[in-house]
Chain A
Amino acid sequence: MTSRNINFKHRVAVVSAGMTLFRSKMLETPQELAWLAARQALDEAGLTLKDIDCVVIGSAPDAFDGVHMKGEYLAEGAGGIHKPTIRVYVGGATGVFVPIAAWWHVASGLCKKVLVVAEEKMSHAAKPHPQYVFRYIWDPIVEKPLNPNLIWIFAMEMHRYMYKCGVKKEDIALVSVKNKRNACGHPSAQLCMPNITVDDVLKSEVLVWPVQLLDISPTSDGAVALVLASEEEARRITDTPVWIKGVGWTLDTTHWTNRDLAYPEYVRRAAEMAYRMAGIDNPRKQIDVAEPYDPFDYKELHHMEGLGLARKCEAPVLTREGVTQRDGDLPINPSGGLLGVGNPIAAAGLMKVAEIFWQVRGEAGARQVKKPVYTGLAQAWGDLMQAGTVIVMGI
């Protein structure tokens, strides 16, 4: 499949994926988590570390693992010693940005086989709670003196979305129910809740109205890894390489109090960039399965609209009608998302890319969606309502 507007030297495919468990507190050191995921990805591809040309590492704030220059610290566990290695970071959007950066490595012809590793160990920032690291995200001069809690900003965005689109909490809670149930099919999942209901969500502790406890994803430790390869290498490694058809990324301003929170403009722009590259002009029909970022349940709806998978304010309707279930017409987050599998900040996005990879190859087993999958999409979001990263993959 040819792409328009963008000229690059080599087609790039994902040829394998590996990941660790996602749990709130894990014993392994950050390097060991990275190694566990990288080892599984290499084994699945039948490769050794010597076969890898370049390594791309993704990890979110150093303040979580509590080690300065976290990417370099991880490098040994991620196989990055004595090789061209870089670390990239865009907050939560890192998970989808790492394969994009790795795509640059292969598409330019510079590297033939690239190991992509994303890791996060939030449990090190133990006291008082890893959430505390998010205090640094606020503008120190005009926002932090008000003593804000990070959940305020999500609550404000959620409430604005509910106001503009006339959405009720019941509709949004359906997303949490779907994802936490979907997660039961995921071997790494931290929060599989097979019997959760909308009622459970609506009765959970109110933190910052309208956000309640079961609307949120947990803090987690975990790592995910992929191997990317150029076309000729990919065909030698596997019979079903999954091609990267489009990549897109965009940043918006940190001055989030100056823009309308009801619609994620930056996600739309990142998606447009990826769609143009992939030759997609009707995403609702041409994307078979999608993994939009869901740190909160309303975010899945928000991002579905930014991605053009639903019209503005239409996402809750699709959810209510069951369109986004695994056996629906447009399955969304069949993995269980961040809400169910867990949220180690940087690794979560890569987990979604791995999910699309497995779905396209029919290897998602208990999570495999009913309709045939040719093209899938993973999207991540990060920082202060700013960064959007999108990757379109398929066969």
Chain B
Amino acid sequence: MTGPTKPINPRGTKYDRVEFPVFEFPVIGKARYNYTTGEALGRFLAGLKEGKILGTYCNKCGRVFVPPRMYCSYCFREVDGWVEARDEGVVITAVMSYISATRARLERPVAVGVIKLDVPGYQFDDHFFPGLMHYICGASEDDVKSMRIFGARVKARWKPPEQRTGSITDIECFEVAGP
């Protein structure tokens, strides 16, 4: 069909460099946040300090939550209790990052991924599982590019107990288990 291409004469003035008066405001006194961890994550972080990965479970649907919640969002009821997950599992997805959080190029690339954790007495499919995002060490660029890393078994490398603070960084990374 013929006719003018819409939108007709869209307006707006672009600029590349600031060569005119603007208002620049540095964000002074950065807002400091104290996020309450709540019931579930509070206990989860305490568990990490002790070198354990804790989760909660719902008996009605059989789900295990890591990171833990106090309620099952699917059955919409309180969870039935706590369970300790193994600090090892399987790589569900992994990528190789060449940039830092500020988009600067890293000296050495790092591997990051989602790890599906083992929980004794439970089996999980790909649809819903206890999982965490974390660094993966012992994986080369080629391991990631070739996707060999998918499905690899990994185990948490913990910081020494005196260096743990009750944070996800108490785990340094998940290490690819040897052959």
Direct A–B contact present (CB less than 8 angstroms): yes
Interface residues of A (CB under 8 A from B): 17-28, 33, 36, 40, 66, 126, 128-129, 131-132, 135, 139-143, 145-149, 151-152, 155-160, 162-163, 185-188, 206-211, 221-222, 253, 255, 257-262, 354, 358, 362-368
Residue in B closest to A188 when the chains form the complex, CB atoms: B10
User: Chain B residues near A20 (CB, 8 Å)?
Assistant: 10-12
10 closest cross-chain pairs (CB), A and B: A365-B5, A21-B12, A23-B14, A155-B95, A362-B1, A160-B93, A209-B96, A20-B12, A27-B13, A257-B131
Q: Could you tell me if A257 and B133 are in contact, using CB atoms closer than 8 angstroms?
A: yes
B130 touches A (CB below 8 Å): yes
Which applies to chain A's interface (DSSP): helix, strand, loop or mixed?
mixed
Cα distance A208–B135 in the bound complex, in angstroms: 13
Interface residues of B in 55-92 (CB under 8 A from A): 65-67, 69, 73, 92
Name A258's closest neighbour in chain B (CB-CB): B131
Q: How far, in angstroms, from A19 to B20 measured CA to CA in the complex?
A: 25
B124 to chain A, nearest CB (A): 9
Once the chains bind, are A28 and B144 in contact (CB under 8 Å)? no
Do A163 and B150 touch (CB < 8 A)?
yes
Instruction: Judge whether A209 and B95 touch: CB under 8 Å.
Output: yes
Give the CA-CA distance A156 to B101 in the complex, in Å.
16
Q: In the complex, what distance in Å separates the CA atom of A98 from the CA atom of B173?
A: 42
- Besides A36-B11, A142-B44, A156-B112, 16 other A-B contacts (C-beta < 8 A): A26-B13, A28-B13, A132-B102, A139-B67, A141-B35, A143-B133, A145-B169, A149-B97, A159-B144, A163-B147, A187-B5, A208-B112, A209-B144, A258-B66, A364-B5, A368-B1
Q: Bound state CA distance, A66 and B8, in angstroms?
A: 30
Are the C-beta atoms of B15 and A27 separated by less than 8 Å? yes
Residue from A21, A149, A259, A354 in contact with B99 in the complex, judged by beta carbons closer than 8 Å: A149
**B10–A160 contact, CB under 8 A?**
no
User: Given the known A-B contacts A21-B12, A141-B35, A257-B131, are A208 and B93 also in contact in the complex, defined by CB atoms under 8 Å?
Assistant: no
* Residues of chain B with a CB closer than 8 A to A354's CB: 7
Nearest to B99 among chain A residues (CB) is A207
| Cross-interface CB contact of A367 among B5, B101, B127, B130, cutoff 8 Å | B5
Task: Confirm or deny: B108 has a beta carbon within 8 angstroms of a beta carbon on chain A.
Answer: no
Which one, A23, A132, A157, contacts B12 given CB within 8 A? A23
What 0/1 readout, one digit per residue, does chain B (98-121) give for beta carbons within 8 Å of chain A?
111111000001001110000000
Contact B10 A152, beta carbon cutoff 8 Å = no
**Contact status A363-B6, CB under 8 Å:** yes
Inter-chain contact A159/B93, CB cutoff 8 Å: yes
Q: Is A149 in contact with B100, judged by CB distance below 8 angstroms?
A: yes
Among candidates A141, A156, A208, residue contacting B45 with C-beta atoms closer than 8 Å? A141
Assembly CA distance A140 to B36 (angstroms): 10
What are the residues of chain A within 8 A of B141 when measuring CB–CB? 209
Instruction: Give every chain B residue within 8 A of A262 (Cβ-Cβ).
Output: 126
Q: Does B134 contact A (CB under 8 A)?
A: yes
By beta carbon, the residue of chain B nearest A189 is B10
With both beta carbons as reference points, the residue of chain B lying nearest to A160 in the complex is identified as B93
- State which of B6, B37, B98, B134 has its C-beta within 8 Å of the C-beta of A207: B98
User: In the complex, which of the residues A66, A149, A207, A363 contacts B4, with contact meaning CB atoms closer than 8 Å?
Assistant: A363
A156 touches B103 (CB 8 A): no
Q: Is the CB of A365 within 8 A of B6?
A: yes
User: Given the interface contacts A187-B7, A363-B3, does A208 sit within 8 Å of B129 by beta carbon?
Assistant: no
User: Which residues on the A side are within 8 Å of B147 (C-beta)?
Assistant: 159, 162-163
Decide: A26 and B14 in contact? CB cutoff 8 A. yes
Q: Which of A148, A158, A209, A222 has the most CB of B within 10 A?
A: A209
Q: At the interface, yes or no: B168 with Cβ under 8 Å from chain A?
A: yes
Whole-angstrom distance between the alpha carbons of A40 and B9 in the complex?
A: 10
Query: Across the interface, do B37 and A141 meet the contact criterion of CB distance under 8 Å?
Result: yes
Q: Are A142 and B41 in contact (CB under 8 A)?
A: yes
**In the complex the two chains form, is A142's CB within 8 Å of B113's CB?**
no
A368 to B4, CA, bound (A): 11
Residue of A nearest to B115 (CB): A257
Q: Indicate whether B122 reaches chain A with its CB closer than 8 angstroms.
A: no
Query: CA of A156 to CA of B116 in the docked complex: distance in angstroms?
Result: 14
Which listed residue, B14, B96, B114, B144, touches A257 by the CB 8 Å rule?
Answer: B114
